[in-house]
Amino acid sequence: MEKQRKKKLSLIIKDNWQLYVLILPAVIYFIVFNYLPMYGIQIAFRDYKAVSGIQGSPWVGLKHFQNFFDAYYFKRLLSNTLLLNLYSLLCSFPIPLILAILLNQIKNPARKKFIQTSIYVPYFISTVVLAGMLYIFLSPTNGIFNTLRQTLGMKPVDFMSSASAFRPIYIISGIWQSAGWGTILYIASLAGVDTSLYEAAEIDGASILQKIRYIDIPSLLPVAGMVFIMDCGKLLSSNTDKALVLQTPGNIPTSDIIGVYVYNVGLGSGQFSYTAAIGIFINIINFVLILSVNKLSKKVSNVSMF
C-alpha cells in the first residue's frame, strides 16, 4: 500500500512539475508578502504595546471584540455597511455588462474606439474631487439640481445632509465612477468570442437581440459570475475615504459605516488592537459570505471560484 502511494506522488510530480514551476513565483509572493506577516493577526487578541512587540504584549483574548459588540452604535454600523454594499452591488453589477454588450454593437470603429478610451476615465477622478463636484451640483442655494426644482416650483432640498439621500448619492456616484472601468474586462471577453459564431447566427437570420442573448451573454457568464462572487467577499468592507468625504452631520444615520468608525477611533488614541479586532471581524464575515455564495453558485450554475 505504502509503495503504491509513494509511487503515485513521485509520478504526480513528474507529470506535472512544469505546472508547479509555473505557479511557484505566485506562491513565493504570497508566502513572503502575506503569510510571513500573518502572525500579526494576534494583535487583535492582545493589548498591543509597540515597545513590547507583538509577543510581549499581554494576551486579552476576545476583549476587543467584546468592546466592539458593546459599542453603542454597533448594530447600526453593521446594518449601514451591509446595506450600503449590498444595494451598491445589486445596482452596479449589471451596468458594466450592459455597457459592454451595447458597446460591442457599435459599428463605426472610430466612435467605438473613442467611447472605449473615455468610458473608464471617471475611475481616475479622485474621491476628493468627486465629493467636491457633488457638493457643488447638490448645493441647496446654487446647485443645478435645486435650481431645477425651484423652476418647477418645488422647494430646494439639502441633499448632502439628508440621511435618506446618502445611499442613492453614494451608489449612483459609484456607478458613474466605476461602471466604465468594469467594462474593460467584459469588452476583452467579448473580443475573444469566435466571430464565426456571429456569422452563423447571421445566416440563421438572428436579430441583434437574439445574438446578444445566445452568444454574448453566455460567453460573459463565467467572467461575470466570478466578478459577482468576488464582490460578495467585500460586503462588509468599507470605502472609508469616500464615506468620509460624503458624510455630513445630517446624514450620519446612514453614512456611519464601520470604516468611518474605525477612522474616528484611530484619531482618538493608538487603539491598535481594537481596530485590528474589528478588521478580523469584518474579514471573517466576508469570508463566510463568499464561501456561501460560491457554494450556491456551484449548485445553481456551473460558475464558481473554487
Write the single-letter amino acid at 90: L
With CB under 8 A as the contact rule, the residue among 115, 145, 149, 239 that binds another protein is 115
Q: Which of 1, 38, 110, 152 binds another protein (CB under 8 A)?
A: 38
69 is a site residue for another protein (CB under 8 A): no
Does residue 83 touch another protein according to CB under 8 A? no
Q: What is the DSSP letter of 161?
A: G
Q: Is 158 in the site for another protein (CB under 8 A)?
A: yes
In this chain, which of 7, 56, 168, 295 binds another protein, going by CB under 8 A?
A: 56
Query: Should residue 160 be labelled a site residue for another protein when binding is judged by CB under 8 A?
Result: yes
Continuous H helices in 31-126: 53-56, 63-70, 74-92, 94-104, 109-118
What cell does 217 get?
451573454
Q: Which helix (H) or strand (E) holds 61?
A: none
Q: How far is the CB of 200 from another protein (least distance, A)?
A: 14
Nearest to 96 by CA among 185, 190, 200, 229: 185
Q: What cell numbers appear for 234 in the block? A: 467585500
**Three cell numbers written together for 112:** 467605438
Residue closer to another protein by CB (options 63, 87) is 63
Instruction: CB nearer to another protein: give 152 or 269.
Output: 269
What's the grid cell of residue 240?
Answer: 472609508
Smallest gap, in angstroms, from Cβ of residue 301 to another protein? 13
Q: Residue 52, interface with another protein (CB under 8 A)?
A: yes
* Residue 89 found at the interface with another protein (CB under 8 A): no
User: Contacting another protein (CB under 8 A), which of 6, 29, 150, 296?
Assistant: 29
> Minimum distance between the CB of residue 239 and another protein, rounded to whole angstroms?
14
Strand partners, 49: 53
String marking each residue 214-253 x if it binds another protein according to CB under 8 A? -----x--xx--x---x--x--------------xxx-xx
Pick one of 58, 61, 153, 192: the residue that binds another protein (CB under 8 A): 192
CB of 53 vs another protein, minimal distance in Å: 2
The C-alpha angle with vertex 233 and arms to 232 and 235, in degrees rounded to 5, equals 65
- State in Å, rounded, how far the first CA of the chain is from the last one: 31
Chosen residue from 188, 217, 296, 300 binding another protein by CB under 8 A: 188
Residue holding cell 464558481? Answer: 304
Q: What distance in Å separates the CA atoms of residue 171 and residue 159, rounded to the nearest whole number?
A: 14
Out of 2, 6, 7, 40, name the contact with another protein by CB under 8 A. 40
Residues in 248-287 at the binding interface with another protein, rule: CB under 8 A: 248-250, 252-253, 256, 261, 264-272, 274, 276, 279-280, 283-284, 286-287
DSSP string, 239-295: -HHHHHHH--GGGHHHH--HHHHHHHHHHHS--HHHHHHHHHHHHHHHHHHHHHHHH
